[in-house]
Structure 1
Amino acid sequence: MPNSIESRLRRARQTRAKIAELKVVRLAIHRSNSHIYAQLIDGSGSKVLASASTLEPELRKELPNGGTVTAAAVVGKRVAEKARGLGIETVAFDRSGFKYHGRVKALADAARENGLKF
């Protein structure tokens, strides 16, 4: 019986395979207990166009803890602003097998509110 990490990675592989067929820019996220990360990856999957995380010095000053819903919303807003700066409006959301709940949902909602469509 697979454990939770193997199950998450299996879900992530399935999602990434479907996104790869579409050849669209992918908003990939990763979360740990302490931080959350977001990357915009081009359609070929070989180049990171922009990224944002709670490890960035500007955000570390603002946020006392990077593992909160508030921090995820700030990262979502920041990655959406960077995407707009690159002229990217539509992306595919790759939640990396994580449940669409809590910090993942907060990041996605903030990105949508700031102009990204997915």
Structure 2
Amino acid sequence: MTENVLKRKLSLRLKRKKRIRAKISGSADCPRVSIFKSNRTIYAQAIEDVNSTTLCTSDGKVLGIKSNKDGAVVLAKDLAAKLKEKGIEKVVFDRNGYIYHGVVASFADALKENGIKL
């Protein structure tokens, strides 16, 4: 029974992801910031969808953080510094099908606090 529940949760997240991606896109001056979270770590990247290139990434595994709210704040601070190095002040936030709550909300709030407009 638990296998079916996990498959259903994943399929619902993928549906939300497709619905979100149909509406947003990143450009060179306003890239898309996508977040991925697993049970152990968090990853984020800034993507330019016009040329399908990744501008910068931030990896929770490399930073040695856990997948919690405090880790999301550290990850956002790191990504904001990398974005500012490239001269990017405004981004489009892609929550990647996750509900805007907890870790995802903490990441977005920390990006705002570090001077990146969403």
TM-score between the two structures when normalised by the length of structure 2: 0.86
User: Which residue of structure 1 aligns with residue 43 of structure 2?
Assistant: 37
TM-score between the two structures when normalised by the length of structure 1: 0.86
Percent identity reads 39
**Within 1, Cα distance between the matches of 2:41 and 2:94?**
17
Letter in 1 for 2:35: I
**Within 2, Cα distance between the matches of 1:91 and 1:43?**
12
Cα deviations across residues 1-22 of structure 1 (Å, max 9, x unaligned)? x8111111111111111113x7
Q: Is residue 19 from structure 1 mapped to residue 32 from structure 2 by the alignment?
A: no
Deviation at 1:68, TM superposition (A): 1.6
- Number of equivalences: 111
Structure 1 unaligned blocks of 5 or more: none
RMSD: 1.8
**Within 1, Cα distance between the matches of 2:88 and 2:8?**
37
User: Which residue of structure 2 aligns with residue 48 of structure 1?
Assistant: 54
**Within 2, Cα distance between the matches of 1:7 and 1:44?**
27
Q: Is residue 98 from structure 1 mapped to residue 98 from structure 2 by the alignment?
A: yes
Cα deviations across residues 15-44 of structure 1 (Å, max 9, x unaligned)? 111113x74410000000100110000132
Structure 1 stretch 26-35 or stretch 10-19: which is displaced more?
A: 10-19
3-state SS of 1:9 partner: helix
User: Which residue of structure 1 aligns with residue 107 of structure 2?
Assistant: 107
Structure 2 unaligned blocks of 5 or more: 1-6
